[in-house]
Amino acid sequence: MGEVRDPAAELAEVARELRRHVRWAQGRGETQAPLAGPGASELPVAVEIPPVARPGGADGLSLVRTELGDCRRCKLCEGRSNLVFGAGDPHADLVFVGEGPGAEEDEQGEPFVGKPGQLLTRMIEAMGLRREQVYICNVVKCRPPGNRSPEPEEIAACEPFLQAQLAALRPKAIVALGEFAAQTLLREQTPITRLRGTWRVYEGIPLMPTFHPAYLLRSPAEKAKAWDDLKLVMARLGMEPPARR
């Protein structure tokens, strides 16, 4: 008969592995290499495997959520109503990463549900997808007061959990929404105006930086560029080109 394992001991072991991964992620700092040119067709070859085995999908995500717990690792916990972990399909091919929750997200505990979130939903639907078919999360999980940008120590505290989420999700493509998410994931300071529309690589996963929906609400003339970026994502995922808009 096979060995009977204690589920609690097994979970504790996986949680230890996750903590090791978080420490590993905290110690890293290399730049992610760009893919060649806008819409480059080659898939990235360098897939870096982190030095721990982790479960993926829903199990992996729920472990990350458990590890995050009632997080008090940075001062953003003091003003939050709800921690906004992420939402969507744990097996999604496509993940959108934003900056951090705003007031409505903080209230509801869901990412991208305010005005910019409604625009993001329309963008996803224009791609022929439903929100539930993708996964949406943020760099930081708690609302920065007054919607300011997250500070370096807040990012440092939270980013390992984003990394662990993405490692569990292992999507076919990531869309980084806005300069903050793109620069954080790519570990570089290039402005979003130069990053957008060009395939990059995050941990072996193709990453497309594009404008943040909040920016698009302020600058609607830029929506066409964001749509061009999403069409590159659709092409890479082998999705049907949308009907002419």
**Residues in contact with ligand URA, shown as a per-residue x/- string from 184 to 223 under the rule CB under 6 A:** ------------------------------x---------
Instruction: By CB under 6 A, tell whether 144 contacts ligand URA.
Output: no
Residue 68 three-state SS: helix
Minimum CB distance to ligand URA smaller for 82 or for 242? 82
93 to 134, 139, 244: CA distances (angstroms): 7, 19, 24
Minimum CB distance to ligand URA smaller for 54 or for 196? 196
Integer Cα distance of 220 and 233 in angstroms: 21
Instruction: By CB under 6 A, tell whether 98 contacts ligand URA.
Output: yes
Q: Are 21 and 69 in contact (CB under 8 A)?
A: no
Among 117, 160, 171, 209, binds ligand URA (CB under 6 A): 117
Minimum CB distance to ligand URA smaller for 118 or for 133? 118
Minimum Å gap between C-beta 77 and ligand URA is 17
Among 18, 61, 95, 112, binds ligand URA (CB under 6 A): 112
Integer Cα distance of 240 and 230 in angstroms: 12
Strand pairing report for 135-138 and 87-88: antiparallel
Minimum CB distance to ligand URA smaller for 44 or for 100? 100
* Cα first-last separation, the chain: 61
Instruction: By CB under 6 A, tell whether 116 contacts ligand URA.
Output: yes
The residue assigned the tokens 């760099």 is 139
Minimum CB distance to ligand URA smaller for 117 or for 197? 117
Minimum Å gap between C-beta 74 and ligand URA is 17
Among 60, 100, 197, 206, binds ligand URA (CB under 6 A): 100
Instruction: By CB under 6 A, tell whether 106 contacts ligand URA.
Output: no
Nearest alpha carbon to residue 90 among 2, 171, 36 = 171
Minimum Å gap between C-beta 15 and ligand URA is 26
Among 76, 85, 138, 161, binds ligand URA (CB under 6 A): 138
Nearest alpha carbon to residue 142 among 75, 97, 87 = 75
DSSP string, 81-131: SS----EE-TT-SEEEEES---HHHHHHT-SS-SHHHHHHHHHHHHTT--G
Binding residues vs ligand URA (CB under 6 A): 98-102, 105, 111-112, 114, 116-117, 138, 214
